[in-house]
Structure 1
Amino acid sequence: MLKSAPAYSFDLPGSGNGKHIIILGGGLAGMASAYELTKLGYKCTILEARDRAGGRCWSVRNGSTNQETGRPAITAKFDDGLYFNAGPSRIPHHHELTLHYCKELGVPIQVYNNVNEGAYYFAEGKGPLSNKKIRAREVHNDVRGYMAELLSKSIDNGALDAALTKEDTQKVLEYLAAEGGLDIDKLYKASARRGYAESPGAGNLPGKIGEAHKLADFIQSGLLDPDFYNVAEYTYELQMTMFQAVGGMDMIAKALQKQVSASLKLGAEVTNITNLSEGVRVTYKDAVGEHQLQGDICICTIPLPVLSNINNNFSGEVSRAIDYITYNQTGKIGLQFKRRFWEEDDHIYGGITHTNNDLTQIFYPSYDYLGKKGILIGYYNFNEKAQRTGELSYADREKLALEKGRLIHPQYDAEFERSFSVSWHKTRYNMGGWAVYSGETRKNQYPALLKPDGNVYFAGEHLTYLNAWMAGAFESARSVVSSIHGRVTGQQLVYPTTK
């Protein structure tokens, strides 16, 4: 029922004539590169250190395993059919290339409910509204209403309307009244848009509109603090409509893996990358021992914190870029519950609850609505909060998620079954969630990795302005394929090409 994705299959002229391309990393960027290069006549070998492909595009299911530094490997013990996306979980409607690959590879998608006004805001603290779960629609409508009231009063008193005609001023006041839900006296009063204290029904049940919270209470309770500034509907990448792959985001990785399986070596950890006068030599180790592989060109998609610890003979400029560009700290925990109480008791179907504590966010699943069981993402945190959480043992991470989560959902105690947590900055072969650039590193280090270093090219989300998104991996893959194919065939190819 969706229109055809506007992105298009690669149709570059010329042939790779069997040139051997060694691709380091079997994530989305590596596999997409191999997929496109193989269609152009290249021979590809993908070396992936893990025993699975997909990299950060990973859905945790029953039997999934993970290895963090300094900790034993763990295995998920969820019920069959349940999962949570430990890495990317959302596809923006304007990420054309991601949607294109879903279409081309036959991966069905479904709507992802990212914005849910029925989810909660929860602020720990000492204010009048602290330590209470408040529906997002209440926060949004009350704050919007009070702000509209303040602005309307200022304009009506001539404080802000010097540049406006009388007619213009009236139009602005009418807009503010509609946007903020103001009454005839330009005062904000609660209306049905923020919800009901008693729901309307049949017969003599008109419903009772909930009372508006005071603006001062929002401020004193911390609900206007930076912890809650990330309003999804204002963020370009998070605006509806959003999508997800049916059955888990790793279905995209699995579809790519099926296409490149003949080129993929799993359990192959790269230990050395050597630029040669002609070609490149890569040393890797697997369960059998150490091996060397020689090819014409190399594409390195290994995350930079991992790459910085692999022996190489890169130029000084490239080496500095690898060391200087940082990745964020981030983690998630999946919590399996006996029943979907967030739907049954709280009427929350998808969306996100925001907090100011170490949970940061609770994600509700956008699949299997009205099912028997389900998995919540019990926290999705970043930076200092993720660092603190990542230092905890697996058991203590679970304890934290339950301790803070039950403040919002007291059903946790009776319904919880088991958990699985991932700290990406501690996960072997990742050592971070995604690249984070400062103005300086974007200007001085980023350009060094956009061009080849001898016979080694670099690709991944970290080499785009789409950091953290699957689209970054796909766009980077196509860009580097264009560069390599142009070099091999002697053509001037500039990405993005036109159809």
Structure 2
Amino acid sequence: MDSGRRTPTRRQLLNAIGLMGGTAAVYQMMTTFGHAAETRFPGPPKLEGARKGSTVIVLGAGLAGMLAAYELEKAGYKVQILEYQNRPGGRNWSIYGGDKITEMGGATQNVGFAKGNYLNPGPWRIPHHHKTLLHYCKAFGVALEPFIQFNHNTYVHNVDAFGGQPQRFRSLAADFEGNIAELLGKAIDQKALDAKLTPEDTDRLKEALRGWGMLDKDMRYVKGMASSSHRGFELPPGGGVNGAPKPSDLLPFDQVLRSGIAANMSFFMNDEFQTTMFQPVGGMGKIGEGFARQVGRLVTYNAKVTKLFQDKSGVSVTYTDTVKGVATTAKADYCVCTIPLTVLSQIESNLSEKKQAAIAAVPYSNSVKIGLEMRRRFWEEDQDIFGGHSFTSQEIGLISYPNNNFFQDGPAVLLGAFAGGPGGYRLGGMTPEQRIEVALAQGSVFHPQQYRKEFMNGASVAWNRVPWVMGCCARWNEDTRREHYQELVALEDRIVLAGEHASYVGCWMEGSLLSALDAITRLHKRALEA
């Protein structure tokens, strides 16, 4: 046994597994109390009766800003959008061949992906219950396709298990479930469970465990046809006289536990990661393009906001054209501000001290995504992996396989890293070239024969180095929400904030949209009462 590592007792193990295995029940309870329910979208807002000539200035042409502008214009307001970048969408972003990425500090990447290939550095998947986003994608003609979130045939890697050799997800999950089912079966026979069960319930539970864990007639998880039907065969079933399959060997249970497979399994139980998930055809940035088709004529691009002031007569916003260097002041009756808090906190304004304290109180997470373009789809051709993620305990966190253009020849881009936490900050501190090297070195554990051989080029985005957001997304905690959230989202005279930071669906596009709809509904009510 490793020094400092204690083997859990059966009771501790059963308790832990019970907590994990009871996720469905816990989810139902959380839904009842409103903590994990489907996002709230009763339909587009019914705004009408705007006073003639009323004007609104929207800061930011991300999804929140463009949706606010779209619905406000429908209600009769004259709207102007100011956007720092030269494109719409904000963090709804896809990077294609020919694009240029310049980080804070000056490092520049010229992306060399083949035509049609892309990296989504920000959002990359849409849960099936994010109804607001799905509604507007349909309304704005954004084509969606399935995003393959869960794939049994991918890999799990932990440097502390199996000598650092990755194992198939399906084998680890099957051996984990089979061993736990056997332990629970023994606990039932020994009357070691705390819960009181009738003899009939005990029999039903044992039969359920037998089927779930692929146990034999003696309630044992052993090598055989039953276990192999879940974990995979050493020799798969075939046809003809030699078609009989051969069962596969089971993995040592202590190594299965050490691999961390339970965390990977529970990852897919999270309601936001459950199937079915979607992605736009051609890249996540197609959503921003779809929104821009509705309101692009209202956008002033390359507009760096430097001042935001309001008084009894209206709102004034000073911005500088980042191309021409010319400063301009725009005026309107009201303002919807969707600028990320990391940037807004540095803009001169006369917002109240409480509002500015709330803006400054919310830290942003960092993440690094790295796209690696490979000459061929070796994960499909050589390992039968079609979409999904392979997990690792290394800094890159995971690699994710493309969900489009299956079976096609030619180059394809896989996500070579989605690093957060300490790994994200370490990668974020590297040059783009160094990040690529780390992604190749660490990703090679999954595909040692192909990774470097098939690599063509890559691109990366470290969100703490992106000048127009300086972080990935807002990370509230219970204390900051309790102290600052209501102040942040409150309408202050003529200005209201919106964006994923102003929602309980943080770090998701859905949160941005729900926040925008809530903000403009309250702003419209204030305008009618003025």
TM-score bracket for this pair, using the shorter chain length: over 0.9
| 380, 403, 406: which one aligns with 2:418 | 380
Secondary structure of 2:186's match?
helix
1:417 and 1:102 map into 2 onto residues whose CA distance is 33
1:282 is displaced (CA, Å) by 0.6
Would you say 1:116 and 2:112 are equivalent positions? no
Q: CA deviation at 1:17?
A: 2.5
Single out whichever of 16-25 and 467-476 deviates more from structure 2.
16-25
The residue matched to 1:191 in structure 2 has which SS? Answer: helix
Structure 2 equivalent of residue 209 of structure 1: 247
Task: Report the aligned-residue RMSD.
Answer: 1.7
Asked if 1:334 corresponds to 2:371, the answer is yes
| Structure 1 residue runs of 4 or more that deviate by more than 6 Å after TM superposition | none
The whole-number CA distance in structure 1 between the counterparts of 2:362 and 2:511 is: 16
1:147 shift after superposition = 1.0
* Contact preservation (8 Å) 1:324, 1:441: yes
Of 412, 426, 432, which residue of structure 2 is paired with 1:394?
432
In structure 1, C-alpha distance between the alignment counterparts of 2:379 and 2:42, rounded to whole Å: 37
1:170 to 178, 192, 203: 203
Matched, 1:466 2:505: yes
| SS of residue matched to 2:163 | coil
- The answer on whether the counterparts of 2:175 and 2:256 sit within 8 Å (CA) in structure 1 is no
Number of positions where the alignment pairs a residue of Structure 1 with one of Structure 2? 482
Q: Which residue of 2 aligns with 1:497?
A: none
Corresponding residue for residue 60 of structure 1: 95
Q: CA offset at residue 162 of structure 1?
A: 5.4
Partner in structure 2 of residue 280 of structure 1? 315
Deviation at 1:384, TM superposition (A): 1.0
Gaps of 5+ in 2: 1-39
Give SS of 1:196's match: coil
Q: Matches of 1:229 and 1:349 in 2, distance apart? A: 18
Unmatched 5+ stretches in structure 1? 492-499
Q: Which residue of 1 aligns with 2:14?
A: none
Confirm whether residue 430 of structure 1 aligns to residue 465 of structure 2: no
**Structure with the higher fraction of residues in helix conformation:** 2
**Is the alpha carbon distance of 1:230 and 1:194 closer, same or farther for their aligned partners in structure 2, counting shifts above 3 Å?**
closer
Deviations 1:26-49 (A, max 9, x none): 100001111111111111111111
Q: Is 1:25 aligned with 2:63? A: no
Matched, 1:446 2:481: no
Say whether the 8 Å CA contact 2:491–2:522 is kept in structure 1.
Answer: no
How far apart are the structure 1 equivalents of 2:195 and 2:316?
70
Identity %: 37
2:232: which partner in 1?
Answer: 195
Alpha-carbon displacement from aligned partner over 1:431-476 (angstroms, at most 9, x marks no partner): 1111111110111111111112221100001111111111111111
Is residue 373–residue 413 contact of structure 2 (8 Å, CA) maintained in 1? yes
CA deviation map 1:164-218 (0-9, x unaligned): 1111111111111111111111111232111122222221122222211121122
For residue 453 of structure 2, what is the aligned residue in structure 1?
414
Q: What TM-score do the two structures reach when normalised by structure 2? A: 0.88
Q: For 2:371, what is the secondary structure of its paired residue?
A: strand
Instruction: Decide which moves more: 193-202 or 348-357.
Output: 193-202
Deviates more, 1:108-117 or 1:70-79: 70-79
> What residue is the counterpart of 2:17 in the other structure?
none
**Are the structure 2 counterparts of residues 16 and 262 from structure 1 closer, same or farther at C-alpha, using a change threshold of 3 Å?**
farther
- The answer (yes or no) to whether the contact 2:156–2:261 under 8 Å persists in 1 is no
Which amino acid is 1:277 matched to?
A: K
Q: Note if contact 1:16-1:40 (Cα within 8 Å) is conserved in structure 2.
A: no
2:339 aligned partner: 302
> 1:115·1:232 contact (CA, 8 Å) conserved in 2?
no
Quote the residue 1:80 is aligned against.
115
* Displacement after TM superposition at 1:16 (Å): 4.6
Q: Which residue pairs with 2:217 in the alignment? A: 184
Candidates 364, 370, 379, aligned match of 2:407:
370
Q: Using a 3 Å threshold, how does the CA distance of structure 1 residues 6 and 442 change in structure 2: closer, same or farther?
A: closer
Q: What SS does the corresponding residue of 2:178 show, helix, strand or coil?
A: helix
